[in-house]
Structure 1
Amino acid sequence: MAESTALSVYLRERRLAAGLARAELATRTQLAPLLISQIESGALVPNPAMLQRLFDSLDVPLWYRKHILVRGLPAVEPGSAPSTPSAEDLADLSSLTHPACLARFPTMDMLAANSDYQRLFPGLGAGVNMLEWMFLNPAAKKVYLDWTTEAQLLVHAFRMLSPLAPTPRVTAITDSCGQSPDWDPIWTSEVRPQDIARRHLRLRERSTGLERRMMLRIYDPAFPNRPWWLYRLIPVR
């Protein structure tokens, strides 16, 4: 019996979320229904052309596709990556002269944050979940001048990529965030392309009350390989 991969599970969950039967997806992608079944069971790893058709037909945004493939296919690197940042990783993070943090995606669990980041986002540090902080910590709406837009973008990423994460963790996050009256309306909302392509974040500095514009940059460590993302905010001069 074929063993499901994270990619096969992801594609099946995206199809179900879209309300499509296998036959309907087969028609959209012009792939045989048997191929769809084999891909979803893990018996067949789709080639690039198949993936393109599947992602397009399931409306998977371009900016998520690389991460889906990295997380969804069996690792080719020898050995396993560490689950928590090492002393060297933390020294690297601390050396950055602007707000930065390390976080797991798609669950958005924080692993570490430098002092600049923690000053800008009070209460958001190692062991805290970004989504829970955004919806349950009153400081979030004070820091983000465009809170609704930023919350929509976080939730959209979580919703699109959550099939790649352990189900119990996804359930725990959604149950926790569901305590907020803002959660359900934002969960069911759609993001606008112009918001995704935004150049700056507008933040309010707690110590001065002044507005700060920051450029968002997200990096996926390649060497050494790490199972988290580096999230950086670069001040706009």
Structure 2
Amino acid sequence: MRPDRDSEELQPPTFGLLLRRLRDARGVSRERLAFNAGVSASYISHLEKGDRGHPTREVVDALVRYLDRIDPLSAVERRHLLDLAGLGVSEFPTVEQLRAELTEDMRRALDLHEPNLAAYVDTRWNVLACNKSYADAFPGLVRDVNILRWLLGNPRAKQVVLEWEEEVRLTVHWLRGLIAGSGDTAWSQEFLAELGRFDLFREMWDEGVAAYGRPRATMHLRDAESDHCRAIAVQMFSVFSASYPNQIQIFLGLPTLCPESDEHGGLLH
């Protein structure tokens, strides 16, 4: 990273920045986009600078229709743009609020999944509760609470997550999508400031990529005590919560059905 980047404040994604990137990628001027979307060029300029509030659904649809004609948006780009327009959920509850939603039966259910990995996490990758197998697989994560904070800041993460950099990149990209989905980026400022002390995070954040899921289900882990390597299939399911719908998920790590060749030395079971 360039030394002069250290003092710069990382910015959450905005509708205007993404619109500008999509427009520039297609070589479309503000005037041309405005004419075809039925708005003024000055309005497009204000949107890109963040001088206006969220655009209406009609305006977003018109912008997307024209950009699609030039070069179709991917499914992720389309969702990211709509989320940043404020058409997603309104806000994120705190970790404490979500933990209070976990009943004793829900917590006991985690132990029923032993020896498989099981945990409740929120959509910002905070661990709300987990079983012993999960805690053992990711040493120190319960203390660190947040998965991304653990991946970047805990030296044991590199020891147990075999494709460590790949997992970091996926989680950073997923975070960008989750921030957009909140419809309100204010909560993210403090978290981005904390993560911004890691050069790798800054580098991956600058890639500007959003993700809304894992490209592959398999995660490769090394046991911190035995040094044994294994492959687990990651499954994520939304957990019903009347107070905070779609904000709690259960993470399940199940052993893969078939052994895989382990390029890191040994056999993955």
TM-score in terms of structure 1 length: 0.68
Change (3 A) 1:228 1:196: closer
CA distance in 1, matches of 2:148, 2:251: 15
Q: Partners of 2:64 and 2:251 in 1: how far apart? A: 28
**Equivalent residue for 2:252, pick from 229, 232, 235:** 232
Name the residue aligned to 2:102.
86
Amino acid at match of 1:170: S
Q: Which residue of 2 aligns with 1:95?
A: 112
For the pair 1:159 / 2:176, whether they are aligned, the reply is yes
| Root-mean-square deviation (Å) | 4.3
In the TM superposition, what is the alpha-carbon distance from 1:64 to its structure 2 partner? 6.4
1:86 partner letter: L
- For the pair shown, the structure with the greater C-alpha radius of gyration is 2
Shift of 1:135: 0.5
* Structure 2 residue matching 1:33: 3-state secondary structure: coil
1:183-228 Cα offsets, whole Å, 9 max, x none, are 222223477x9x9532411111112101110111111224765521
Q: Which runs of 5+ in 2 are unaligned?
A: 1-12, 91-96, 258-269
Aligned residues between the structures: 217
Residue type at the aligned position of 2:153: L
Partner of residue 206 from structure 1, selected from 199, 224, 227 = 224
Task: State whether structure 2 residue 15 is matched by structure 1 residue 15.
Answer: no
SS at match of 2:199: coil
SS at the partner of 1:184?
helix
Structure 1: give runs of 5+ residues left out of the alignment.
Answer: 1-8, 76-81
Deviation at 1:99, TM superposition (A): 0.8
> Aligned to 1:111, what secondary structure does the other structure show?
strand
| TM-score for both structures, normalised by structure 2 | 0.61
Structure 1 residues 216 and 32: alpha-carbon distance in aligned structure 2, compared to 1, 3 A threshold = farther
Question: Aligned residue for 1:185?
Answer: 203
- Residues 101 and 184 from structure 1, CA distance in 2 versus in 1: closer, same or farther, beyond 3 angstroms? same
Question: CA separation of 1:202/1:62 partners in 2, compared to 1, >3 Å: closer, same or farther?
Answer: farther
Q: Which residue pairs with 1:221 in the alignment?
A: 239
Identity score, percent: 20
User: For 1:63-104, what per-residue CA distance to the aligned partner results, in whole angstroms no more than 9, with x for missing partners?
Assistant: 967x959x94469xxxxxx63232232123332231122222
1-structure distance, mates of 2:31, 2:157: 40
Change (3 A) 1:155 1:73: closer
State which of 113, 132, 138 in structure 1 corresponds to 2:130: 113
Q: Compared with structure 1, are the counterparts of its residues 222 and 203 closer, same or farther at alpha carbon in structure 2 (3 Å cutoff)?
A: same
AA matched with 1:154:
T
Asked if the contact 1:152/1:190 (under 8 Å) is kept, the reply is no
Equivalent in the alignment of 2:38: 32
SS in 1 for 2:142: coil
Please give the secondary structure, in 2, of the residue aligned with 1:206: coil
CA distance, structure 1, for counterparts of residue 38 and residue 252 of structure 2:
43
Verify the 8 A CA contact 2:119 2:250 in the aligned structure 1. Answer: yes
State the distance in 2 between where 1:112 and 1:25 align: 52
Separation in 1, partners of 2:133, 2:78:
27
